[in-house]
Structures are given as C-alpha cells and as structure tokens.
Amino acid sequence: MESKQYLLIPGPTPVPDSVRQAEAQQMIGHRSSDFTKIFGEVQDGLKQIYHTKNPVFIIPSSGTGGMEAAIVNTLSPGDKILLCNIGDFGKRWGEMAKAYGIVVQEIKKAPGQVIDPKEVAAALDADKNKEIKAVLFQQNETSTGALNPVKEIGEIVAKSHAISIVDSISGMLTAPMKVDEWGLDIVISGSQKAYMIPPGLAFVSVGPRVWPLYEKSKCPKYYFDFKQFKKFDEKKQTPTTTPVSLIYALQAALRLILAEGIENGYKRHAAMASFVRSEIRKWGLKLMAEDKAASMSVTAIWPPEGIDPEAMRKELKSKYNVVVAGGQGELNGKIFRIGHMGGVTMDDLKFALDALKKVLAGMGYKFPEGVA
Ligand SMILES: Cc1ncc(COP(=O)(O)O)c(C=O)c1O
C-alpha cells in the first residue's frame, strides 16, 4: 500500500480526488462549443471568488507569469512604481520590474512585518508630479507567512493617480478579497494554491482603470498581451491552445469551493491557521508574523535554537511522510513553514503536528512542561 503523503507546503497543495478524476477526462477541442460551455462556467466562478464584475483572464502559466503580465501591460521603461516589499515575492516583483527598465521606489519591511497603509498614502501624497504609475503588493507573503491589509492599501490607491496591482497568489480563497468593493485594479492568483488544482494557470482580474495605462504602455508583450486575452475571453477561450485538462480540474474545484461557500472557506482557513499558531506557541517556539498580520494559508516558524530546520524536515518526511516547507531566499535554512490551504484538513494538521513534536523531541528539544 502506498502511504498517504501529508503535503503541507504553500503550493502545490493536495488535489482532491474528484478534481484529479475531472482532470483525467478525454480531450476536446479548445475552440469547440463543448469547451466554451465549461469555460463560461469557470469564468463565472472566478468572478464570484474575486467578487468582481471585471473580466478575470485565465492565463496558461504559473503565478509569476500573471505578475509579469500585470507589469508589461500597464508600464513602460522609465515609469516608476511603488513596491511594497515584505518578503521574497516582493523582491521578485522588484527584480522583474527592473528587468523591464522600470524605476522602483520601495517600502521594505523586515521579515514577518506588513505594510502600514499610512506609508503608502504618504508616498502617494509626496508624489506631486504623479510619477508613480502603480502600487504593487502581495496580499499574502508566502515566504514570511504575513498578510498585508489589502483593503486599506487598496482603498488608498483607488483614490490616487496610481493603480493597484495585487499578488493574491497564495492569499486568494484563504482570506477576504473583495476586488470591486476595495477598488483593486489588477489581482493575480494561481491554480496550485487554495484552488486545489495543479500548477499551470494564473488568474488575473483587470479593472477599467487599467486600460488607459495599457494603451500607453511600451513594455514589450506578446504571449501575455491583455488585449489578446480580452478578445478571446469574450469568446470564452484563451488566445493560445488552452491546457484543457487544467480547465476540467478548475471546473471541478470551483464546484467544490462554491458548494462549501467562499465565506465558509475563509473561516476554515482561519481556523487552521489559528490551530497551528496556538499549538506552536504552546511548544515554546516563535512565529514569524504577529497574530494581527498572520497569514491564513501558511505559518512561518523559527525552529528551536540548535535545531537545523532542514535536518528536521528530512526526518519528518522520511519517518512520517509529512512534507513541510523550508525557508526561502534570505530565510533559506533558517525557518520552516507549514502550509494549510486548499484541500488540507484539520486532521492532516493534527497528524503533522504530532509527527513534528516527535521529531523535535527526538532531536533533543525540551518542550515546556505540560505539553504531551
Ligand atoms: C505570493 C506568491 N507570489 C508569487 C508566487 C509565484 O508563483 P509561481 O511559482 O506559481 O510562479 C508564489 C508562489 O509560491 C507566491 O506564493
């Protein structure tokens, strides 16, 4: 018998059986009426999840492609952006923008901290010549397990001369995301996170304030051209050959997500995050983000002093088939992260934390008195 792998990393996440079965269906033509029926259903589902009337383009790429699409369709070399950088994915966006000759003004935070919306307001107020074209930030910074105040930042940017571009790749479906209500211009999410489908699709909502910038934007674009996506989206298709199997999977996953209810999904993720955080605290370990900035999808944890998180992860995998993530970028080898999104259940977390406790005890960690 194959033993179950407890995959508790912040993506890819476990794919439910019904989604895997859906994905295995026979091919149909991606320009056929059978296909456009399915595509119409997933377009509607995505709009419900995003809480938007704007189109949500389905882009065959990983999440980073969605981030790049947002840049090349709105900006020109020499333009300035305000980058809210709270971790490795913020850093990635800065590097990407610079690769296109974009000038990056940065608000940078230490690992675990989040953006103070007042700092965004101050930077935009100080920009008297309206040089800042866009404000870029993560909803959920996966590398540090920190959740930015998206509503507050979004509402400030919505009243300004700049547009907001939000990476919700690991945040979507785990914490509220009200695109229209909060006035968010571009929001990106990715299939392999809380959507519970394999990697390979990026979802990008595009609001009306984006199109005037699109018309002026001089960054080179071809595969990611929003006008192409808009044209084909209206026909319930994508510009190039659609990964049909992933659309089958998306259809099945959206049915599960909508049957649970989007708000119920947020509650379930909050309960999982809170369970992991309270257990870890009881053990005397330190969490990277404070409660008020806690991610609902991934918890970043400092290992006990003297314990190598990589050796700990190796033992957890080999003895218990539990997979947690290590640190990323500058946190590589320093922390570990427990993913709790999508199809992960409370029972999975209980099993994994129990296994982790045994591994830590085996490595010599002395738990506080009273921890069984
Ligand atoms: C917040 C965030 N942004 C961007 C990405 C990049 O997505 P992908 O690896 O799908 O390109 C990830 C992936 O983990 C992420 O968590």
**Tens-digit pLDDT profile for residues 52-89:** 999 999 999 999 999 999 999 999 999 999 999 999 99
Residues 6 or more apart whose Cβ sits within 8 Å of residue 159: 183
For 286-303, what is the mean pLDDT?
98
For a pocket test of ligand 1, which of 89, 195, 298, 341 has the largest count of ligand atoms closer than 8 A to its C-beta? 89
The pLDDT value recorded for residue 372 is: 75
For the Cβ of 9 lying below 6 angstroms from any atom of ligand 1, the answer is no
* Lookup: tokens for 331: 């946190």
* Whether the Cβ atoms of residue 335 and residue 313 lie closer than 8 Å to each other: no
Q: Has residue 47 got a pLDDT over 90?
A: yes
Q: Whose CA is nearest to atom 12 of ligand 1?
A: 169
Considering the chain, what is the average pLDDT of its residues? 97
Residue type present at position 230: K
Identify which of 312, 362, 371 has the alpha carbon closest to the alpha carbon of residue 338: 312
Task: Give distance in angstroms: CA of 364 to centre of ligand 1.
Answer: 34
For 132-159, what is the mean pLDDT?
98
For a pocket test of ligand 1, which of 169, 173, 188, 201 has the largest count of ligand atoms closer than 8 A to its C-beta? 169
Atom of ligand 1 nearest to the CA of 66: 11
Atom of ligand 1 nearest to the CA of 171: 1
CA dist., res. 204 & res. 54, Å (int) = 10
Give the pLDDT band of residue 365 (cuts 50, 70, 90). very high
CA dist., res. 155 & res. 265, Å (int) = 24
* Whether the Cβ atoms of residue 331 and residue 111 lie closer than 8 Å to each other: yes
Atom of ligand 1 nearest to the CA of 143: 16
* Whether the Cβ atoms of residue 73 and residue 224 lie closer than 8 Å to each other: yes
For the Cβ of 190 lying below 6 angstroms from any atom of ligand 1, the answer is yes
Residue type present at position 136: L
Give the pLDDT band of residue 1 (cuts 50, 70, 90). low
Q: Whose CA is nearest to atom 7 of ligand 1?
A: 63
* Lookup: tokens for 258: 């909508």
Residues 6 or more apart whose Cβ sits within 8 Å of residue 261: none
Instruction: Classify burial at 26, counting beta carbons within 10 Å of its beta carbon; exposed 0-12, middle 13-18, buried 19 or more.
Output: exposed
pLDDT tens, 166-202? 999 999 999 999 999 999 999 999 999 999 999 999 9
Atom of ligand 1 nearest to the CA of 138: 1
Rg of the chain (C-alpha set)? 21
Residue type present at position 357: K
For the Cβ of 145 lying below 6 angstroms from any atom of ligand 1, the answer is no
* Lookup: tokens for 302: 């400092």
* Whether the Cβ atoms of residue 147 and residue 274 lie closer than 8 Å to each other: no
For 5-12, what is the mean pLDDT?
98
The full set of domains in the chain, from first to last, is 6-12+261-362 (3.90.1150.10), 18-259 (3.40.640.10)
For the Cβ of 63 lying below 6 angstroms from any atom of ligand 1, the answer is yes
pLDDT tens, 15-45? 999 999 999 999 999 999 999 999 999 999 9
For the Cβ of 64 lying below 6 angstroms from any atom of ligand 1, the answer is yes
* Lookup: tokens for 86: 């709270």
For the Cβ of 142 lying below 6 angstroms from any atom of ligand 1, the answer is yes
Task: Give distance in angstroms: CA of 366 to centre of ligand 1.
Answer: 35
Residue type present at position 75: L
For the Cβ of 138 lying below 6 angstroms from any atom of ligand 1, the answer is yes
For 258-282, what is the mean pLDDT?
98
Instruction: Classify burial at 78, counting beta carbons within 10 Å of its beta carbon; exposed 0-12, middle 13-18, buried 19 or more.
Output: exposed
Atom of ligand 1 nearest to the CA of 170: 16
The pLDDT value recorded for residue 3 is: 82
Task: Give distance in angstroms: CA of 88 to centre of ligand 1.
Answer: 10
Identify which of 281, 286, 331 has the alpha carbon closest to the alpha carbon of residue 305: 286
Residue type present at position 180: D
